[in-house]
Copies of this chain bind each other. A is one copy, B any other.
């Protein structure tokens, strides 16, 4: 198939590398350096967004804020091509699809993989191998569109699953945004451990690892979803309850709260 990719950073670049053994992959990035890096790695490059069409599918791997504008630019000329974004929020795409032309084919996608590095140079054809790839149907997702999206997602080596935009975005607020906010808040508080901060062990380092997320991505993750507020509030409430139990000397209650947190984590396995 002819698969086009808009945005050749870590995710778009990794999609290009993962899919090129089975598909004819063409890429575009608004940044000339990213185009050059992908071109050197053997990806066929075009020098405008328009050049990505015609195609069987266009994957939109731009920064989150550019996803809907890119969809809007491509949609009128896309004919029956599948348009699938791969950002970590799905409600904006679902809302765009509601008002897109009746014959458009739009599916939301979210390959749940990443790295603290960014850009094409950090891209890898194995980034998605064994990781979840969520597909979110929209008002413009017919059976063919979902089937094609499933094929492409599977061809990246990922494990494909399907859910609604609402379930997806709420879950991501709790699994991505809240941990990022907490990591940053704990790191910032850690300054008060001076002069012993440098002695921080693996516990502090693991808890704050997400505070190393590239600033553009981190800012976007925290400011883009309507569920982020709720997820951060839940963490604040849990911390407040724990502090109240500690203050009240209710050690059994502290233990019960810790046990409940441990149980959620046990559910990950």
Contacts and interface: CB of A to CB of B under 8 A. Distances in A.
A184 B267 contact: no
B176 A203 contact: yes
Interface in A188-224: 188-201, 203-213, 215, 218-219, 222-223
B219 A254 contact: yes
Interface residues of A, number: 85
A231 interface: yes
Nearest to A267: B197
A147 interface: no
Interface in A207-258: 207-213, 215, 218-219, 222-223, 228-229, 231-236, 238-240, 242-243, 246-247, 249, 251, 254-255, 257-258
A238 B199 contact: no
B243 A239 contact: no
A137 B220 CA distance: 48
22 contacts: A113-B201, A163-B195, A167-B195, A170-B192, A171-B196, A178-B186, A179-B208, A182-B186, A182-B207, A184-B242, A184-B258, A185-B236, A198-B267, A206-B209, A207-B210, A211-B264, A211-B265, A215-B255, A219-B258, A222-B246, A232-B239, A236-B239
Interface of A: 112-114, 131-132, 134, 161, 163, 167-168, 170-172, 174-176, 178-201, 203-213, 215, 218-219, 222-223, 228-229, 231-236, 238-240, 242-243, 246-247, 249, 251, 254-255, 257-262, 264-265, 267-268
